[in-house]
Chains A and B, each alone.
Chain A
Amino acid sequence: MIKVEGLTKRYARTVAVDNVSFEVQKGQIVGFLGRNGAGKTTTMRVLTCFLPPTEGTANVAGFDVQKQSMEVKKRIGYLPETPPLYPEMEVHEYLKFVARIKGIPKAEIQKRVDDVMKKTDITDVRMKLISKLSKGYRQRVGLAQAIMHNPEVLILDEPTAGLDPQQILETRNLIKGLAGDHTIILSTHILPEVEQICQHVMIIARGKLVATDTMENLTHPAGVEMVNVEVTPRSGSGADPALAQGVQQSLEKVAGVSRVNHKDTLDGRLIFTVEGLHGRQIRPDIARAVVEAGWNLQELHAVGSRLEEIFLRLTTAVEHSDEVAKAEVKEPAAAEPAVEVTDAPAGESK
């Protein structure tokens, strides 16, 4: 549905997006992650034909964003970071205006407007001035605007920013509900949000795409099982460090376990994370080992490594490598004075 190849966007002094390529299949919800200023918004703006790319191509629904921008615009719905609203208009009026400029036939406008108002749950504010709306409602009016012409592709730039928890939940459900008919790219820096609604994740750092994969593959590295184990001693003897050590050692002895980490002790419960060897199912063996040693097994479940950790690891890796690159550039400059210093005594000795 969306195909981006070698996309680069340069501004006068900075490179906002650097040689990014990715593909998004029809019906997917893709989470676009990155720190502030990583190039998310720029990439989205290129996809929506707001900005032309400096290099590379972007294809939306089979049309090139530069050569066939009119066709792309007809098939794309866009919610920018700040919803593009006219404060002096009433909600229904604004949506009618949007319907008209999105090219919806006159006879269908009213029905379509009612439809999207119902979908985004803003029917109760339809007669209100947009300037009088709360942030949450504005965001939803913005979303209503984006889905007005039932676009094949939806691009949402931080759709839940500034909403209260209840609204965030509703917006997420709304977005989930839109999947299937629509292909959705949404940017955010709320990571749990991505875990909840996206099947695919793209992580961008300093304009470079550092990861693009399914949620499953990213958080569960292939074939390695991570297990969370919680045990308590049989009698209420309390948890002392020696006991914790004992448990850890016996867990380490279980076949197929590669690493055991004592994470925490809470109310006498000892919590461990256990990492298995590649391709091994370790949960049954751990359960047996715990029971045989005479402890109570309180909890045992497989966990993925958290998206936060992956995100931080990937983005800081890029930033670190950037610093290394900079340091390397500096090195020859630093070497020059050194040459002079060695030359000077040589000259003197002659």
Chain B
Amino acid sequence: MNTFTICRKELSGYFRSPIAYGVMAFFALIAGYFFYVAVLIFVRRGFESQMMGQSFPMDMNEWIIRPVFSNISVVGLFLIPMITMRLFAEEKRSGTIELLTTSPLFDLEIILGKWLAALILYAAMLGLSLISMLVLFAYGSPDWKPLMVGYLGLLLQGGALLAIGTFISTCTKNQIVAGVAGFAICLLLWVLSWVSEFETSNLASVISYLSVLSHFESFSKGVIDSKDLIFYLSAIFVGLFLTARSLETLRWRA
């Protein structure tokens, strides 16, 4: 109940500041462009295969939805810090954190409420890309199940990064610092997967396993791999756990 109250307050905060609109507009633009490019390539391939006289299996899921999802998951890395940066940093700067922590609320309610609000904003942002996906259903018949799995994957990946971003936001009073640090961590978690391209040692495979993006692979194909599911869920847990600890130490340090 209290979680819901906090969540509502955060959401209204998002939509009263330019953040929500900025993030969503930017996302709509980028995601729309990726969709356009993917469709263009798909159509061109269709023409080419007709000209050659050979028929390719024209699979929308494989040729449009999957690349678009991969691109969206990368775009998310850039936008997530903008969503999470204000969550705690702003409360610490303006002193409203004193209201929250001296009210009869459990820390967990505060944290979950804020994280949930961020997740809802992220989901609303993803929802914008659904519009272009629906166009596919108007002109073709892609399989809807892999599409749903892809969105589930995006939500899980987003949830994990949002949890980490929330933690970073508790560490500073400055939104900008929280944003930049969050961005750095997101970027790091992305490029970790590149290690495995140069090296094949055990260490390299461990490092690349930590990359949030490599776990999205299977979801974008429409496969729910329990390994990846567990990775994301445990990342969410770790992020929120660190947030809780950080909020607790705030009292000892303040």
Chain A: residues with CB nearer than 8 A to chain B? 45, 48-52, 70, 73-74, 76, 78, 80, 82, 84-89, 97-98, 100-103, 145
**Which of B12, B16, B100 makes the CB contact (< 8 A) with A101?**
B100
Q: Closest 10 interchain pairs by CB?
A: A84-B99, A84-B96, A73-B104, A88-B16, A100-B5, A48-B102, A101-B103, A74-B104, A82-B95, A80-B98
Q: Please, could you name 29 A-B residue pairs with CB atoms under 8 Å apart, sorted by A?
A: A45-B254, A48-B98, A49-B101, A50-B101, A52-B251, A70-B104, A73-B102, A73-B103, A73-B104, A73-B105, A76-B102, A80-B95, A82-B94, A82-B95, A84-B94, A84-B96, A84-B97, A84-B99, A86-B13, A88-B13, A88-B17, A89-B16, A97-B5, A97-B9, A98-B103, A101-B103, A101-B104, A102-B103, A145-B99
Closest to A12 in B: B253
A50 touches B5 (CB 8 A): no
B251 / chain A contacts, CB cutoff of 8 Å: 50-52
B2 at the interface (CB under 8 A from A): yes
A51 touches B102 (CB 8 A): no
Chain B contact residues: helix, strand, loop or mixed = helix
B105 / chain A contacts, CB cutoff of 8 Å: 73, 101
Compute how far the CA of A122 lies from the CA of B90 in the bound complex, rounded to whole angstroms: 26
- Known: A51-B251, A85-B94, A89-B16; 15 extra A-B contacts, CB below 8 A, are A50-B101, A70-B106, A74-B104, A82-B94, A82-B95, A84-B97, A84-B98, A86-B9, A86-B13, A97-B9, A100-B2, A100-B5, A101-B104, A103-B104, A145-B99
A50 touches B102 (CB 8 A): yes
B102 touches A78 (CB 8 A): yes
A50 / chain B contacts, CB cutoff of 8 Å: 98, 101-102, 251, 254
A102 / chain B contacts, CB cutoff of 8 Å: 103-104
A100 / chain B contacts, CB cutoff of 8 Å: 2, 5
A-B CB pair tally, cutoff 8 Å: 67
Chain B: residues with CB nearer than 8 A to chain A? 2, 5-6, 9, 12-13, 16-17, 94-106, 251-252, 254
Compute how far the CA of A115 lies from the CA of B156 in the bound complex, rounded to whole angstroms: 44
B98 / chain A contacts, CB cutoff of 8 Å: 48, 50, 78, 80, 84
A161: min CB distance to chain B, Å? 14
A82: min CB distance to chain B, Å? 5
Identify the interface centre among A82, A84, A98, A102: most chain B CB within 10 Å of its CB.
Answer: A84
Compute how far the CA of A98 lies from the CA of B5 in the bound complex, rounded to whole angstroms: 10
A309: min CB distance to chain B, Å? 34
